[in-house]
Structure 1
Amino acid sequence: MTEQNKNIFYALMFLAMAGWGGSWVNAKVLSAYINEYELIFFRNVFTLITLLPVLLFFKKSFYINLKSFILVIIASIVMIAYMKCYFLGTKFGTASLGGALVTTMIPINTFLIMALFFDKKTGKKDIFALILGAIGVLTMLNIWSFSIEEVFSQKNIYFVLASILWPVLTIVSSKATKISPMVFTFYMYIITTILVMVFFVDIPKINYQTFDSIFWLNILSLAIVSTTFATTIYFVGIEKLGTNEVSSFIFLVPLFAIILSIIFLKEHISLSIVIGTILTLIAVKILNNIKFKRR
């Protein structure tokens, strides 16, 4: 990849991370219109419509073996649980807290799960990072207020569960080695959509009359920008630039979640969220051995 193409792709990665950060704002706005299962249904429908041409453009094979298909079903169930926690946490809480807390906890929880269940080696550096990350998370949860009701509030429980479910989804998806990650994701959205249609959503009874321009703007942004575009750029980035270089962009997600929440939702950002986010980001950097190059 030439230097010019790299710069273009860096700009696209920047926009992709903004899309992921903005998804928390989208969910907060959409919580006034629909429930969590309807959100999954509408997001997936528009994602599938826009993701299919992308897969065809990159000439991805749609072949899936039995093992991968079983993993798709498991991943779909986990995805529904994650989306439920992601949506309800944002509905009862704030988009800024969700975007900061969940996105920074995910890599930490991924490391913990790998260490506990998959014999990932843990050194002194990792233990220090985990302690630092725990302090950061507790700070974001405002544990220093010593209010049990606030720390164990509904929104915080949903956010913590979401940060655990996403690593589980990632690990399950990684076991499907004979299929493109993008194709795996495509099938996961199909199965997820079918499951919510069969068990959770009565499509004719959805209150379509309340859907105004704000609803459509946010649902399309969530599906096209935050899902199809951001996911595609992320996967292509891993192929072109490598996992380590692309992973450094993840640090922008909580930043965008906070900034966009201030701009569009007029949310007040407490000092505990800012300090906690910085501490957990430092912890994630140490755990992932991410190095920032000066240009």
Structure 2
Amino acid sequence: MEEQNKKIFYILMFVAMIGWGASWVHAKVLSVYINEYELIFLRNIFTIVTMVPVLIVSKKYFHITFKGIFLSFITAIVMILYLKYYFLGTKFGTASLGGAFVTTLIPINTFLIMALFFGKKIQKKDIFALLLGAIGVLTILNVWTLSYDEIFTEHNVYFIFASILWPIITILSSKATKTSPLVFSFYMYLFMTILVLLFFVDYQHINYKSFDGIFWLNILSLAIVSTTFATSVYFIGIEKLGTNEVSSFIFLVPFSAITLSIVFLKEEVHLSIFIGTVLTLVAVKILNNIRFFRKKYVEKLS
């Protein structure tokens, strides 16, 4: 990719990560209007519609293997569970806590699952990183000043479940090696929509009359910006720039979630969340060998 195009793509990646962080704010606002399954249904409808032109323009189209179809169906079931706990945690807790806690804990849980069940080797630096991550997570939850019951509140348990389910989604989707991630995501959203319609949502009885301008602004932004746009840019970025370079942008997500929660939801964010988030992100950086600067940029500075 040419340097000028890279700069443009970096801007797009920045916006995409802000969009992912904003999803926690959207979920908090939308929890006043709809339940978790209605959120999945309505978000997915707009996501599916907007993903179609993306697949056509990017020439990914809709080709998928039988294995990809099977995995996308299984992943859809896990994704429904993830979004359920993500939504309930945000509804009863705060968007800032969810955005910081879940997004920083996910890569750590992914590493642990890979180590426990898939034979990933744990080095000395990984042990240090895991301990640092544990301290960071405990600091985000502010366990130093809370009682046992306060730590394991309903919303914290929901966030923990969400942070365990997402690594499973990542591992399942990674097994569809002969299918484009964008195409895989499209079928996953399609299966999710069908499943929630069959078992959890009666679309005719959704209280559409309660939907005002604030609702539509948030559901459309959640579907188009936080899902279709952000997901598309992220996966295309991996293809064009590589996983390591794109992964560094993930560090923007928790801070954007915290900042947007303060600005739009007027949430009071304790210093412990900021400190814990920084500690946990440092742990994630060590675990995944993420570099913020490419080699040639480092050479220019030396």
CA offsets 1:195-222 (integer angstroms, 9 cap, x no match): 0000000111110110000000000000
CA offsets 1:122-168 (integer angstroms, 9 cap, x no match): 00000000010011111111211241111000110001110110000
Counterparts of 1:4-153 in structure 2 under 5 Å? 4-153=4-153
Unaligned stretches of 5+ residues in structure 2? none
CA offsets 1:21-53 (integer angstroms, 9 cap, x no match): 000000000000000000000000000000010
Aligned equivalents of 1:258 and 1:65: distance in 2? 39
Q: Tell me which amino acid in the other structure corresponds to 2:276.
A: G
Aligned length: 295
Aligned equivalents of 2:207 and 2:135: distance in 1? 43
Q: Tell me which amino acid in the other structure corresponds to 1:169.
A: I
Residue 177 of structure 2 is matched in structure 1 by: 177
Residue 215 of structure 2 is matched in structure 1 by: 215
1:191 maps onto 2:187 in alignment = no
Please give the secondary structure, in 2, of the residue aligned with 1:269.
coil
Aligned equivalents of 1:146 and 1:121: distance in 2? 35
Residue 200 of structure 1 is matched in structure 2 by: 200
Counterparts of 1:231-246 in structure 2 under 5 Å? 231-246=231-246
Please give the secondary structure, in 1, of the residue aligned with 2:188.
helix
Please give the secondary structure, in 2, of the residue aligned with 1:102.
helix
Please give the secondary structure, in 1, of the residue aligned with 2:104.
helix
TM-score by length of 1: 0.98
RMSD: 0.9
Q: Tell me which amino acid in the other structure corresponds to 1:71.
A: L
Aligned equivalents of 1:272 and 1:73: distance in 2? 39
Aligned equivalents of 1:40 and 1:139: distance in 2? 31
Shift of the alpha carbon at 1:189?
A: 0.4
TM-score by length of 2: 0.96
CA offsets 1:93-112 (integer angstroms, 9 cap, x no match): 00000000010001000000
Unaligned stretches of 5+ residues in structure 1? none
Q: Which runs of 4+ in 1 moved over 4 A?
A: none
Identity value in percent: 72
Residue 156 of structure 1 is matched in structure 2 by: 156
Shift of the alpha carbon at 1:66?
A: 2.2
